[in-house]
Structure 1
Amino acid sequence: MTLQDALTYHYRAVPRDMICAPDAISHLCDALDQLMAYKAMIICGPTILQHADVVQRVQEALGERCAGLFAGVLPHAPVDMIAEAFQAVKAVQPEALVSVGGGSSHDTAKGLATLLAQGGRIHDYETRFTPPDQVELPNFTNNKIPVIAISTTMGAAELSGGAGFTDQSLGRKIVVADPWTMPCSVLIDGRALATTPLSILRSTAIGQLRIAVESICSPRHNPIGDAMGTAAIRMLVQYLPVCSADDIDSLLQVKTAACMASLANVGGLGLCTATAHHVGGLYRVAHGEANGILLPHTMRFNLDACAERQALIAEAMGIDTSAMTPAEAGLAAADAVAELCRTLGLPSRLRDVDVPEAGLEHIAAATLHDRGLATNPKPVADAAPILHVLHQAW
């Protein structure tokens, strides 16, 4: 073996506190104390405020330390909503933000942290991507207001510095990757998870399965990411089919696996992530559902470029691969993902979630701006292969 063939990677661990408990919200003020912040403002959407008790529990935990509430977060975080939220938060001047809900709430809080420190418009901080692999990042400062995240879904946007904001006028999502806005504390609260409909918990968990799969298959994979990614897949396959609101432990197990999937993402994602961003942003499809529909197809598309990596996924899913070639095992993994989604009652075609066939070209064109393509196992330089996958999924 030459020096060029020796194991080489860059692993960066971001310090953060993660507290997992049936009533993790009770630790909220402790988290604020660790950040040396007193007043906090809550960021959430109207549905969770009106139809669950989670925000009320957060307000009670904060007491007099609650500086205000912005409850206008909308799905896929439209840029107009971010501008409105910015004005509300700027008027309050809190010392910390507490995002409560799913990915849109966490992305909104991260976007607000960027804008509060650096001003301007969210568009000013967009990640610029030129196919197949050129990524240009703006300059970010590190003097960001701290964010504490309380998630009510199995998604784990709270563990990422990236955030997505929909601009319908541009026909795509704006992706901002400000590493200084990553939440400093994450509270995994079983009672909060139990307030979310099971269909949403299942779809968002599949979205996290997608992160584990794409991280393992990334050209920049490394053994640390592989270990967390395969462990996350094993846990998701074990606990996801049986989790329910009546079993808090099962919810916390699935959420932990979902978080592990995000922590496994040490080398970038791929075509499924890139395409799902714009399926959701353009046609208001839930991110987890978009990922569940697309993932088996993107795995098959990438198979000839990463068969041995997909064989690891098959093994983690409990498939006996001893008599299979890597390509056969990788194909079995894609089929197993599709079967798991069917078992969970998730939609299997883009037409099932009201994406029009005429819209596939718009999605493909928008996806070409997405940095997720930069680390896809098979280089994607134009819209044709994206469109092929979309037609397969339609």
Structure 2
Amino acid sequence: MANRMILNETSYFGAGSISEIVTEAKKRAFKKALVVTDPDLIKFNVAKNVTDLLEEAGLAYDIFSQVKANPTVKVVKAGIEAFKAADADYLIAIGGGSSMDTAKAIGIIINNPEYADVTSLEGAIDTKNPSVPIIAVPTTAGTAAEVTINYVITDEEKKRKFVCVDPHDIPVVAVIDAKMMSSMPKGLTASTGMDALTHAIEGYTTLGAWELTDMMHLKAIEIISRSLRKAVENDPQGREDMALGQYIAGMGFSNVGLGVVHGMAHPLGAFYDTPHGIANAVLLPYVMEYNAEYTGEKFKYIAEAMGVDTTGMSQAEYRAAAVNAVKQLSKDVGIPEKLHEIGVKEEDLQALSESAFADVCTGGNPRPCTVESILGIYKTAF
């Protein structure tokens, strides 16, 4: 069996690394960018950190700032028209996963117009042509969309999220500058950080995991668990470490897949517009309990990566310790414990379960799932 690894052509890390956007744009002879971002990043002058550099260097750009959380088919289509109107030849995505997912969909469809309806991109699609070149600049430490071959779009008409997996969508350049994340409020820092932890734990335990990605995911768990609390308090080193930890998690899970935490989180975003990181954070410990018997010794290493001394522990004890470490971290950064606290309705659990079972991520779960078993997890978490 061949194990495939796909990563960015080039990535930059560290304070001030956004200046390399100019270097890359000039080196690649790009003519005009469409900057894809959201209204808040315009309002609070976060995107301006990048556009000022473009202006100083004499690099042309237009801005598309209609991105919203859980980006929709409608938003993507508007972005495609904006790209065409701008006569752009590359994209700069500034923001969290929503901005980068929107840019990926725009870039793929511009170069593969047969997928213009957007929904036909669902699943593992091997498009003919690479995306329009994307330079990705994350402003949150969580999704790692800057290094993944995945993106998620919401079909508002059908109240569902769909996952797109395509090697052609990965940004050519990723710029991970923690200073671009310093204005994140505590709640967003916490939820995106727990999203990154979910990526690392699900990537470590998914059916597709192998030795190289195990190494990445364990290191990501270690970095995230030691730095998220500090990042929530806006400690500069905590921010820097989280920026790295979430990227490492993305390097791994992008290449091996995830599991039913994400399968169950996606419908919450579609039904209630629940922030993705919060949905993952609430569900993660309950799914870990469901999966425990199918993970061998991996929960022992998760617990140790999170700072637990497992010396002398039985298998049952170290599995419980791993789950409890996740629960404690989630509690410490202010994540709710139950689904009813984030607006989930009990009467929707059956429909949510059916949607989660059909999600592309669910197939990677280490323990087989049915609609009934997923419903059981939802009820426990409710």
1-side partners of 2:314 and 2:9: how far apart?
41
Are 1:56 and 2:44 counterparts?
no
* Within-5 A mapping of 1:83-102: 83-102=77-96
Counterpart of 1:131 in structure 2 is: none
Query: Which of these residues, 339, 361, 376, is aligned with residue 388 of structure 1?
Result: 376
Contact 1:77 1:104 (C-alpha < 8 Å) held by counterparts: yes
Contact 1:245 1:251 (C-alpha < 8 Å) held by counterparts: no
Q: Over residues 106-136 of structure 1, what are the superposed CA-to-partner deviations in whole Å (9 max), with x where a residue is unaligned?
A: 0000000111011121112111xxxxxxxxx
Counterpart of 1:105 in structure 2 is: 99
2-side partners of 1:210 and 1:367: how far apart?
16
2-side partners of 1:245 and 1:186: how far apart?
25
* Within-5 A mapping of 1:260-275: 260-265=248-253, 266-275=255-264
TM-score between the two structures when normalised by the length of structure 2? 0.94
- Cα 1:15/1:165, change in 2 over 3 Å: closer
Query: Which of these residues, 161, 176, 184, is aligned with residue 164 of structure 2?
Result: 176
Contact 2:140 2:181 (C-alpha < 8 Å) held by counterparts: yes
Q: Over residues 66-124 of structure 1, what are the superposed CA-to-partner deviations in whole Å (9 max), with x where a residue is unaligned?
A: 32100000110011111111111121131110011111100000000111011121112
Query: Which of these residues, 236, 243, 260, is aligned with residue 248 of structure 1?
Result: 236
Query: Which of these residues, 247, 252, 267, is aligned with residue 278 of structure 1?
Result: 267
2-side partners of 1:302 and 1:58: how far apart?
43
1-side partners of 2:26 and 2:45: how far apart?
24
Of 96-105 and 160-169, more deviation after overlay is shown by: 160-169
1-side partners of 2:219 and 2:318: how far apart?
18
Counterpart of 1:371 in structure 2 is: 360
Query: Which of these residues, 75, 81, 98, is aligned with residue 75 of structure 2?
Result: 81
Q: Over residues 173-227 of structure 1, what are the superposed CA-to-partner deviations in whole Å (9 max), with x where a residue is unaligned?
A: 1221121111111111222100111221121011011111111111222111111
Counterpart of 1:341 in structure 2 is: 330
Counterpart of 1:189 in structure 2 is: 177
How far the C-alpha of 1:338 sits from its partner, in A, is: 0.9
1-side partners of 2:27 and 2:319: how far apart?
45
State the superposition RMSD in angstroms. 1.6
Q: SS of 1:54's equivalent?
A: coil
Counterpart of 2:301 in structure 1 is: 312
Contact 2:189 2:231 (C-alpha < 8 Å) held by counterparts: no
Runs of 4+ deviating beyond 4 Å: none
Q: Over residues 5-62 of structure 1, what are the superposed CA-to-partner deviations in whole Å (9 max), with x where a residue is unaligned?
A: xxx6614142432212222222211121343323111001111111x22211211111
- Cα 1:33/1:287, change in 2 over 3 Å: same
Q: Over residues 212-255 of structure 1, what are the superposed CA-to-partner deviations in whole Å (9 max), with x where a residue is unaligned?
A: 11111112221111111111111112111122565323211111
Amino acid across the alignment from 1:53: N
Contact 1:164 1:173 (C-alpha < 8 Å) held by counterparts: yes
- Cα 1:243/1:14, change in 2 over 3 Å: closer
Of 289-298 and 260-269, more deviation after overlay is shown by: 260-269
Which blocks of at least 5 consecutive residues in structure 2 are unaligned?
none
Contact 1:215 1:267 (C-alpha < 8 Å) held by counterparts: yes
1-side partners of 2:130 and 2:221: how far apart?
36
How far the C-alpha of 1:264 sits from its partner, in A, is: 2.0
Contact 1:44 1:71 (C-alpha < 8 Å) held by counterparts: yes
Amino acid across the alignment from 1:223: E
1-side partners of 2:232 and 2:365: how far apart?
34
Query: Which of these residues, 23, 28, 34, is aligned with residue 41 of structure 1?
Result: 34
TM-score between the two structures when normalised by the length of structure 1? 0.91
Count of residues in correspondence between the two structures: 376
Amino acid across the alignment from 1:192: M
Counterpart of 1:238 in structure 2 is: 226
How far the C-alpha of 1:171 sits from its partner, in A, is: 2.3
Query: Which of these residues, 143, 150, 154, is aligned with residue 141 of structure 2?
Result: 154
2-side partners of 1:223 and 1:323: how far apart?
26
- Cα 1:15/1:49, change in 2 over 3 Å: closer
1-side partners of 2:9 and 2:350: how far apart?
40
Contact 2:8 2:173 (C-alpha < 8 Å) held by counterparts: no
Amino acid across the alignment from 1:138: I
Of 74-83 and 247-256, more deviation after overlay is shown by: 247-256
How far the C-alpha of 1:284 sits from its partner, in A, is: 1.0
Q: SS of 1:243's equivalent?
A: helix
Amino acid across the alignment from 1:375: G
Q: Percent identity?
A: 28
Q: SS of 2:287's equivalent?
A: helix
Contact 1:114 1:178 (C-alpha < 8 Å) held by counterparts: no
Q: SS of 2:175's equivalent?
A: strand
2-side partners of 1:144 and 1:296: how far apart?
36
Counterpart of 1:20 in structure 2 is: 13
Of 95-104 and 330-339, more deviation after overlay is shown by: 330-339
How far the C-alpha of 1:169 sits from its partner, in A, is: 1.8
Are 1:32 and 2:20 counterparts?
no
Counterpart of 1:122 in structure 2 is: 118
2-side partners of 1:340 and 1:222: how far apart?
26
Are 1:354 and 2:348 counterparts?
no
2-side partners of 1:217 and 1:73: how far apart?
32
Contact 2:6 2:167 (C-alpha < 8 Å) held by counterparts: no
